[in-house]
Structure 1
């Protein structure tokens, strides 16, 4: 805490003193023609003579009025423009007082109906589209697209390369109206050279199929990069290589070729610094995008909890080597047909280590386990996808894609547990081979002026073959598995899981008039799954002790069919749009375990309702309610025992039906370019009506789990908000989040209601100077409370972070520092750790060569600490991380 006490005063001085230095006045007035008619949506651009001042921009309202926030005692070149009128430019010098300045534009005397005016305004706004003429804002010193974007009014780019426009995140990037690689903004803004960009288009409520815009609800925002005429066909990219102490190395090429008909993109990476070129967010983009996956919550959570996703999300390890390559090709076959495809392959070797203290809450006396876990992972995957797009006219669109993923993940682990009943060490070995194949077809057709038809069909094949072994010299799970006496206990588990799923939906969009739409849909979801497993002991004499006689082993098949019809009515009243929906589902499912069969049918009506109140393009309220049903997976239904871990056994339940839960979401968004204000508020509430509940029998650290249908309601409530405001050269941010959860726990035949509450708040400030160092300083405070068995556990976390960037004389210096203080107030455990990274990059303006020295984990911190909670235990964990790494790098830009 000593570091924190020293740094906090500096942080609050930074937060409080700098706003006092902000000096701004308001210039306001009207723009009219020579007859004093107001000109709505005229562009006003104020370019400062002082390079350290920012360019200011405004658009006139319906009555021709405008407001500009300018710095005091500065001189600006103000240009007012409106299509069909001669642009007006004048020098404006501000004082200490607000200023009223009206402008009168004259019609262009040379304008004829057949003549195109060559003047291009700096920004053009047309409802959902904002077009920036980049040349009006840049100085020519910018290297990458990200440098140019930072100078556009209303556009923000964070350190990772994520782009936000007028407070809304860009979810897809296009180049000349074609998807750039996967559409991920980071790849585009960090690699496309700034001098190749002519215009930047921001497309709100973006839909890949133009005819569906206004029919399908979309919150996506796309950024379309328009290239200069002499850059319509060019190669760009860079190659980076580095070496460091303790045999550290890095090779990282980014190579791109662009032409109107052909794109070729290649990314390679070879390093042992722990840098992953492929993240879980990238994986979501390859799976269709976060927004699309959230519409199918089941698919998203299955994806999120997969072994592959867990590997991608893991960022803490003691050693890591990555080999990565990605190739993307797009070819225009004809003017209406595109073929694109990519192949991504990765092989990584990772070592992880953690030390955890588990406090079990189900006993009257304290029961604590110390567990140390070390793993060595070897993860390999290859992903491939090919897409055919056929767009013969504005009234027809066809897309087909085929996706394949092959994984082979192997690991060796060592678990050491010390607890009041037994001290033991267990070695583990896992080998998971899997293949996933997807086929998807979408077709859209405008049948008439009032009717548009869409069809989407998907086929998915999944084949997993996991193998797991446990090795120990002591018996485990003695009352749960039938082990025979031996010198060394070797347990082998073999699984086979195969699934075929088919989904199809056709939808008719009927436009009754501009304010009333009626949508009808018919669809089917079908799944045909098989699951097989055996658990057995491999004895030293070469024989096997199969656990089948004790009820272990599954040979289970599951067929599930859901047919549904839906009706949606979308209508608009003033600024509000309403859409009530009702879906009728007819479910049929069958299971078979050896000779035991079970079948069932069910019908459900699932309503939904959405409302959007759009005050203007920059202020909206969204509301959504839905009643959801989710059916179990095959692993939850297979009703014979299965070894789940070295200390747990699991059994499914064939009689499970479906979960039923209510979801409500309300959000408010406001952005003001004039006030430099961005406000986001969001609250969500979920209530489980009928759901799956785990029933646990626990003895010491060993447990048996199964599932039952449970009808006691459980609740989850989340409230979050963010406000940011830029005053002069500094942007201030406040983010806060509150979470509440209550849930029942059935443990050793005792049912109790548990709850958890957490509050997290972050306050930060970031500077935006042109000629001086830029710094971001922030402080985050977390409170967490768990209540279980009438025991209340409290945790506090403090985090102070500082980020610095300084561009000077062809150098770029970057540094970041974070101080964390962790406090378990229940057992008075305290821990602090700090981390820091720094780099210095040098490149002459006209030279393709760049040189960098960087250091990660400067203080050589060896672990991070965090807490976790489930229905019967609280865990305090130390996760060990990579040591200090110092690297020297050389980069060459094409």
Structure 2
């Protein structure tokens, strides 16, 4: 590791020193000496191999530009609505100060023919990049282009940020690209097809609602080159590796004003997962949107489908992925579009977990090994019809379907003081989800705009689980009959019907005062059936229903509400207090016995935003939230949760109630190459549903109660980025605190967890020299339970190198080192991973060739920790072995 870090540092020294730069500064004003913010300054060198340089003025009209010493430049200063000015400059080795006063030209569009386009154009909510001014020709995908745009970053997972704010929607030619997820776009759109990249802040799909609906969406719109329109373009990649490894990855695109077709395929057994849990959450609306309704977020995160997606580390993986998207214009004001995403994967996983159970009376440790073979299949499809007859009217209809069929076979080995056991597991989960949604917006008059949104959802889940062991399990909790082996089968069926509708009126009293009223209804109807039984070796069935198992449970929840929001502006500050009145009516029924309840709640909200200017803002949000239990939590009979857990719901549960508040500060500056994000979030639970656990060794019985002791969650995060010349320096940190009550074996204890994670990194953006990234992350975590503390530390060093050399070659390498410590238990483990590739393609050839190796050191596993209310775990997760690959790429 020391040699790698030393080598990277030597490269850093070598590439930073060659070119000497001088600073050119000044002020751009109009003829009345008023500063012009976002004026463009473009420096075009006369030397062919020198870089084009540019700058943008800040709110005071100041600019700063780094030019190479001893070079000749043609400087052009421009601002929309003003006559551009040019200046010929020969730099020496001293700083230069030069200011410009531009003359307003009201007839500019008719009288002046512009012979250049600024590389960056900045307006209030929009930044436009002309990508040809930043790329060098070696870029292969959109990811490579974005990393060279000032203020834009792409992380290892494919997430895009612009000046510190995350892109949450991707468009191509003004139309949503598949689901709008950035990962599919940045990893598949060819670099040579891109003409412009537009960053659209506060984006709203319905233009008339901008300024009415609060939107934090940052959309990225990709504009294609003219020669890529009405032509099929893309690429096909295929590769073979040692030990029968393979990859086939076609990307085909067609764009025209009337028709759009996108196709992405991926067939591989190299461990690459084309659709992950993060992609699924983004598909469902995005993490930030889902977290506004924590109940929906956690329901999705804990769903059976999500559990199959969450694992991204495997011993073996075969993945078949297809995504197709088509859009057709029916007329000048209506479009129909559809996409299908389908994935079929087979994975093998292995983990080893050391778990310390924290029961005060009899603390003990369990060692568990889990092996699973999982087959995952899903198809997601969506059909959309958009009708926009005018700016004042918009209609959209969506029809959505999701079909999943997942099965797994596993083997669990547990060693603990109470019993050493081995359990074979098998599960089969089938699911269908249908959703119809319509939204209609209309500007009624100059002061009133109305919206209607309605949806209907049908969901049918059919999970079946089988546990087989040669020893009795859950003794005293399930009524097992003595047999040679124990075969336990659980069948569940959950059917859900949900209908929602909301009508909203946006009343614009004047430019500084708005009044919004809304009325709506949410209705949910759930049916849960469960059956647990023992399949005896003689062919008979020992049904557990006589011991209180088995559910046939109906749950209905109807929420009618009315809301009032007042939005007003004072100076640079916008305020929006709101109050919502909800009337909840719910009923439960099991075995012909039921109960109906009613409750009314007032749920206030408040938000404010202070905009000092376009690049500096403070925002605050507060909300009182209510969340009702799921059908599983209410079902009154027993159910098996796992081979060591039995669960029983509580039909008397009511709603949870919790406060949530957030405060965020954002500041960025193109002029200084700088951005800063600071934020804090606080949640306080005042009424909640709490799990009560009876623990006997590793076996547990869980039930639910209403609990009114307060629990708190607090996070503080910050990120700062400063670019100096061709080097970007970044620091980000996150602090988390959580206190929660533990109800185990008739004891109530207040536990807490604290954690700090900080990362410092340096990244280069040279045009003609190797580029590198060095990042160091330090994690501290501290768990306190039963009065004892457990401390963890983790150190991670990440380095990467990318070198374009000899015109046609691209070399890439990365290395990650992890040092993991459980300081309390004295566990210390180190693991590392490295990957490298060499790509060759001549400038005018459609053919490209690549040799690559992943997991160079053949590392076997990763290590991590986790905790719950009564245990702390150290786990090893085994990963894919070393893989050698040779690939051929063909550009269409």
TM-score, normalized by the shorter chain, greater than 0.5: yes
Conservation of the 8 A alpha-carbon contact between 1:166 and 1:618: no
The one of 563, 586, 589 aligned to 1:589:
586
Tell me whether 1:867 sits opposite 2:865 in the alignment. Answer: yes
Q: Which residue of 2 aligns with 1:816?
A: 814
Cα shift at 1:479: 0.9
Flag the 1:544–1:384 CA change in 2: closer, same or farther, 3 A. Answer: same
Per the alignment, residue 598 of structure 1 pairs with 595
Name the SS for the 1:283 alignment partner: helix
Aligned to 1:573: 570
Name 1:551's counterpart in structure 2: 548
Tell whether the 8 Å contact from 2:190 to 2:235 is kept in structure 1 after alignment: no
- Cα pair 1:416 1:425 within 8 Å, conserved: yes
Alignment deviations for residues 188-237 of structure 1 (CA, whole Å, 9 cap, x no partner) = 34444444444333211000000000111111112223334443312111
Please say if 1:87 is aligned against 2:87.
Answer: no
Show structure 1 runs of 5+ residues with no match. Answer: none
Residues 542 and 133 of structure 1, relative CA distance in 2, 3 Å threshold = closer
Which residue of structure 2 lines up, in the alignment, with residue 522 of structure 1?
519
Corresponding position of 2:709: 712
Alpha-carbon displacement from aligned partner over 1:283-327 (angstroms, at most 9, x marks no partner)? 234323334333333222211222222222211111111111111
Alignment of 1:104-119 (within 5 A): 104-105=101-102, 111=107, 117-118=113-114
Q: Secondary structure at the match of 1:817?
A: strand
Residue 211 of structure 1 aligns to a residue in which SS? helix
- 2:686–2:708 Cα contact (<8 Å) kept: yes
1:334 to 331, 340, 362: 331
Mapped to 2, the partners of 1:65 and 1:769 lie a distance apart of 25
Counterparts of 1:193 and 1:878 in 2: how far apart (Å)? 38
Does residue 844 in structure 1 map to residue 842 in structure 2? yes
Deviations 1:646-695 (A, max 9, x none): 11111000010011111111111111112111111111111100101111
Matched residue, 2:455: 458
Structure 2 match to 1:747:
744
Alignment partners' CA distance in 1, 2:876 and 2:122: 52
Which residue is equivalent to 1:826? 824
* Alpha carbons 1:52, 1:771 under 8 Å: kept: no
Q: Which deviates the most, 688-697 or 270-279?
A: 270-279
1:172 aligns with 2:169: yes
Name the SS of the counterpart of 1:182 in structure 2.
coil
Q: Deviations over 1:423-463 (max 9, x none)?
A: 11111111111111111111100001111111111111110
Measured against aligned partners, the alpha-carbon deviations of 1:744-775 in whole angstroms (never above 9, x if no partner) come to 00111010000111111111111111111111
1:207 counterpart (199, 204, 207): 204
* Separation (CA, whole Å) in 1 of partners of 2:140 and 2:129: 18
Report the CA distance between 1:118 and its aligned residue: 4.6
Q: Deviations over 1:261-294 (max 9, x none)?
A: 1111111111111111122233234323334333
Match of residue 765 from structure 1: 762
* Aligned CA distance change for structure 1 residues 259 and 688 (closer, same or farther; 3 Å): same
Counterpart check, 1:620 vs 2:617: yes
Q: Secondary structure at the match of 1:734?
A: strand
Aligned to 1:310: 307
Contact kept, 8 Å, 1:15 with 1:765, in 2: the verdict is no
Distance 1:112 1:772 in 2: 41
Give the CA deviation at 1:132. Answer: 3.3
Match of 1:382?
A: 379
1:618 shift after superposition: 1.1
Q: TM-score, normalised by structure 1?
A: 0.95
Change beyond 3 A, Cα 1:290–1:788: closer
Q: Would you say the 8 A contact 1:81–1:121 is kept in 2? A: no
Q: 1:292-311 maps to which residues of 2 (within 5 A)?
A: 292-311=289-308
Is 169-178 or 14-23 further displaced after alignment? 14-23
Where do 1:115-194 residues align within 5 Å? 117-118=113-114, 121-122=117-118, 123-138=120-135, 143-158=140-155, 160-194=157-191
Q: Please, which of 275, 278, 302 is the counterpart of residue 278 of structure 1? A: 275
The 1-side partners of 2:50 and 2:299 are apart by: 49
State TM-score, norm by structure 2: 0.95
Question: Can you give the 5+ residue segments of structure 2 that lack an aligned partner in the other structure?
Answer: none
Worse-superposed segment, 61-70 or 308-317: 61-70
- 1:688 equivalent in structure 2: 685
Deviates more, 1:281-290 or 1:584-593: 281-290
Task: Say if 1:192 and 1:236, in contact at 8 Å, map to a contact too.
Answer: no
Are the counterparts in 1 of residues 170 and 181 from structure 2 also a CA contact under 8 Å?
yes
Structure 2: distance between partners of 1:184 and 1:610: 28
Q: How does 1:227-238 map to 2 (within 5 A)?
A: 227-238=224-235
Q: Distance in 2 between matches of 1:342 and 1:676?
A: 39
User: Aligned partners of 2:32, 2:539: CA distance in 1, in Å?
Assistant: 101
Preserved CA contact (<8 Å) 1:472 1:488: yes
**2: CA distance between counterparts of 1:752 and 1:563?**
38
Provide the secondary structure at the position in 2 that maps to 1:778. strand
- Aligned-residue offset at 1:103: 2.4
Equivalent in 355, 359, 379 of residue 356 of structure 2: 359
Query: Is the alpha carbon distance of 1:9 and 1:147 closer, same or farther for their aligned partners in structure 2, counting shifts above 3 Å?
Result: closer
Relative distance call for 1:866 and 1:190 in structure 2 (3 A) is closer
Q: For 1:801 and 1:617, locate their aligned partners in 2 and report how far apart those are by CA, in whole Å.
A: 34
Distance 1:770 1:577, change over 3 A: same
Distance of aligned partners of 1:718 and 1:6 in 2 relative to their CA distance in 1, 3 Å threshold: farther
Tell me, in whole angstroms, the C-alpha distance in 2 between the residues paired with 1:607 and 1:96.
Answer: 62
2:851 pairs with one of 833, 850, 853: 853
Q: Against the structure 1 CA distance between its residues 517 and 57, is the aligned structure 2 distance closer, same or farther, given a 3 Å change threshold? A: farther
Cα distance in 1 for partners of 2:499, 2:473 equals 42
Asked if residue 397 in structure 1 is aligned to residue 394 in structure 2, the reply is yes
Q: How far apart are the structure 2 equivalents of 1:188 and 1:373?
A: 36
Contact 2:151 2:670 in 1 (8 A): yes
Q: Give the CA deviation at 1:613.
A: 0.9
Q: CA deviation at 1:171?
A: 2.1
- 2:259 aligned residue (236, 259, 262): 262
Q: 1:259 to 1:541 in 2, by over 3 A?
A: same
**Cα distance in 2 for residues equivalent to 1:768 and 1:51:** 19
Match of 1:424 in 2: 421
- Whether 1:697 and 2:694 are equivalent positions in the alignment is yes
The structure-2 alpha-carbon separation of the partners of 1:28 and 1:873, relative to structure 1 and needing over 3 Å to count, comes to: same
CA contact (8 A) 1:55 1:153 kept: no
CA contact (8 A) 2:864 2:876 kept: yes
**2-structure distance, mates of 1:561, 1:829:** 52
Structure-2 change in CA distance of 1:600 and 1:373 (3 Å): same
Change in CA separation of 1:857 and 1:51 when aligned onto 2, cut-off 3 Å: farther
The residue that corresponds to 1:502 in the other structure is 499
**Structure 2: distance between partners of 1:778 and 1:200:** 27
| CA distance in 2 between partners of 1:624 and 1:795 (Å) | 33
1:375-425 deviation line (CA, Å, top 9, x unaligned): 111111111110101111000001111111111111111111111111111
